Homo-oligomer: A and B are copies of this chain.
Amino acid sequence: MPSEPAPAVDGGVCVISGGVGAARFLNGLLGVVDARDVTAVVNVGDDCTVHGLEVSPDLDTITYTLAGAIDPGRGWGLVDETWRAIEQVRRYATSAGPGALGGSDASGWFSLGDRDLGTHLYRTSRRRSGAPLSQVTAEVTAAWGLELSILPVTDDPVRTVLTTADGRTLSFQEYFVREQHAVEIGSVRVDGAERARPAPGVLEAIGTAGALVVAPSNPVVSIDPVLAVPGVRDALLARRDRVVAVSPIVGGVALKGPADRLLRELGHEPSVVGVARWIAPLAATLVVDHADAALAEQVEAAGVRCLVTDTVMSRTGVGAALARTCLSAALGGPDPKATT
């Protein structure tokens, strides 16, 4: 709940989003501005087909988080979940022996709760009847009572594919869930990106937002796949002076997931400086944590203003304060140096 009346932001706020980090940032943002003024443009490179069902992990993580329904322990899926369907699948798979299920369907490592399955069943049904992902997402979001716009960056299929240092090809879920990201990556590509078109509203939201935020999500496997959809990078570039990025790297490590390792493996410096060099073409400001205050000058040397504040959103109130800082910077607030 907003602690004070939510200010209107002319043109609204547009957040380029991955999953968990973006969800937490958006949660803070909704404590600061009216939800109807917020648009999240969300990565779908992690989307996958599991047991024939269409699963959109980042869209669902954002939806469940903002609805207050995310499981706080796991950090994904729904709270108060049961696992009867997937337990039955495992019984069959165990009986049939190794190899019966492959890919994301090898349910030993990819789990789906019963209530969560309802989301995937609905999405799959609607998609098969011809509804684009963006429309289904709007329906799912509305059913949870959310008033912000959650937009998949594209309605077309794009898939993040990782190639390991030893030449194996992995889907994002194979890398992230099955391998627990404990494998060296040599390159990342986004299959289908070159043919994808931005979903309705995406370019408009980027083009007209009063403030734009690149959420503290994985640069390589969350934000880059959003930017890979033709038109999105250019649209953001045109609004660079209003774009504020929040570093997902704090003290040289990712708060969650493999962003630090991936940056290193792909030739970036796994620090706020590496993040700065990556995002400088697109963002006028990079927000880093106090833990990285000493690197502020190096960040600015990469060509981006550096703002130092609390960015670790595990404590109540940090997300909202971080959102205020971002909005202030995007809308032309006080000299960021003054806040360090």
Interface residues of A (CB under 8 A from B): 49, 51-54, 82, 84-89, 91-96, 100-103, 105, 114-119, 121-122, 124-126, 128-129, 139-140, 142-143
Contacts and interface: CB of A to CB of B under 8 A. Distances in A.
Contact of A143 (B84, B91, B122, B124): B91
A256 to B, nearest CB: 26
Given A129-B101, A129-B102, A118 B143 contact: no
A260 to B, nearest CB: 34
Closest 9 A/B residue pairs (Cβ)? A88-B118, A95-B143, A52-B124, A51-B121, A84-B114, A105-B125, A85-B117, A92-B122, A96-B139
A82 B139 contact: no
Contacts of A92: 118-119, 122, 139-140, 143
A126 to B, nearest CB: 7
A103 B52 CA distance: 18
A85 B86 CA distance: 11
Identify which of A52, A124, A143 gathers the most chain B CB atoms within 10 Å of its CB.
A52
A49 B124 CA distance: 11
26 contacts: A51-B121, A51-B124, A52-B124, A52-B125, A53-B121, A82-B84, A84-B84, A84-B114, A84-B115, A85-B85, A85-B114, A85-B118, A86-B118, A88-B118, A88-B121, A91-B143, A92-B118, A92-B119, A95-B139, A96-B139, A100-B139, A101-B122, A103-B129, A105-B128, A105-B129, A114-B117
